[in-house]
Structure 1
């Protein structure tokens, strides 16, 4: 199972809940779509034996430390990766979303920034914005559990 997270914005209470989800749901990969804000949240989501992929968001001010403390696993987006045989595009701001969606090149497209939950399928692409994990803007903190085998997405409130 994969965990897709975005817009954590230093909410430490929610980060502790996300850490519990990682342990409870047997997560094999975590994808963070930006707006970590500060590096002190990273130990809650970067775990031994679990893959981690991240992109910077527009509110990430400590980019150097975020990069260092993630061992270079947080990069500028859009970022294209392959995980478990699935081609993924991940980004923070959805500037490339429409082109990526129309291209049909990706099994999954993950993004954040809007703080709005998005889950749809276009062709073979599963498009997911998990909403905001912080809950600061909308009052609703959410993450997405994604099954890479069948593309099933479960939006989970935390």
Structure 2
């Protein structure tokens, strides 16, 4: 199963649509900050499952701040991260909350910075921001899950190439 993971789209959908069209995923996970973008994806791709949680800039939707989903036999903890204490240099309590839920994988956003590390039995990933990165270029992740295992995690820039932490921010449009 192939899953595109995005966070912090903040209403800037062009790169989100490009990633979905390029990757042809079986599902999309949106980790908050702009829940309306997840709703737009559901409307545009009615046969594509879209899982989402609220971010610190999302209001009024009856959607959880955290959730656990099981995809292809892998338990995944989803959170934006702001209520889990995630900050620029740390995932905060995200790994502990995922472990409490018996999850193999924890996904969070909020910081707009890519993060990928193993914490005990939990693999923790922040795909960065697909619209407003704080370091480097905008990014998203692709997960490949198979029979209860995380087979592969790759990070991509919005051009589809592998994400490079040394690459400098590119301006696509004059004021973005």
Q: Same fold (TM over 0.5)?
A: yes
Cα RMSD of the aligned pairs, angstroms, is: 2.3
Query: Highest Rg: 1 or 2?
Result: 2
Partner of 2:77: 89
Partner of 2:126: 129
Partner of 2:10: 9
Post-superposition CA distance 1:63-104 (Å, at most 9, x none) = 33xx5xxxxxxx222211112211110001251413135558
Check conservation: 2:15, 2:131, Cα contact below 8 A.
Answer: no
Partner of 2:58: 60
Stretches of structure 1 lacking an aligned partner (at least 5 in a row): 68-74
Check conservation: 1:81, 1:88, Cα contact below 8 A.
Answer: yes
TM-score (norm 1): 0.78
For 2:76 and 2:6, the matched residues in 1 are separated by 15
For 1:130 and 1:18, the matched residues in 2 are separated by 13
Q: CA deviation at 1:30?
A: 0.6
Stretches of structure 2 lacking an aligned partner (at least 5 in a row): 85-92, 159-176
Classify 1:102/1:41 alpha carbon distance in 2 versus 1 (closer, same or farther; 3 Å): closer
1:98 equivalent to 2:95? Answer yes
Check conservation: 2:30, 2:38, Cα contact below 8 A.
Answer: no
Give the length in aligned residue pairs. 143
Compare relative contact order (CA 8 Å, sep 6+) and give the higher one, 1 or 2.
1
For 1:5 and 1:40, the matched residues in 2 are separated by 10
3-state DSSP of counterpart to 2:115: strand
3-state DSSP of counterpart to 2:151: coil
TM-score (norm 2): 0.71
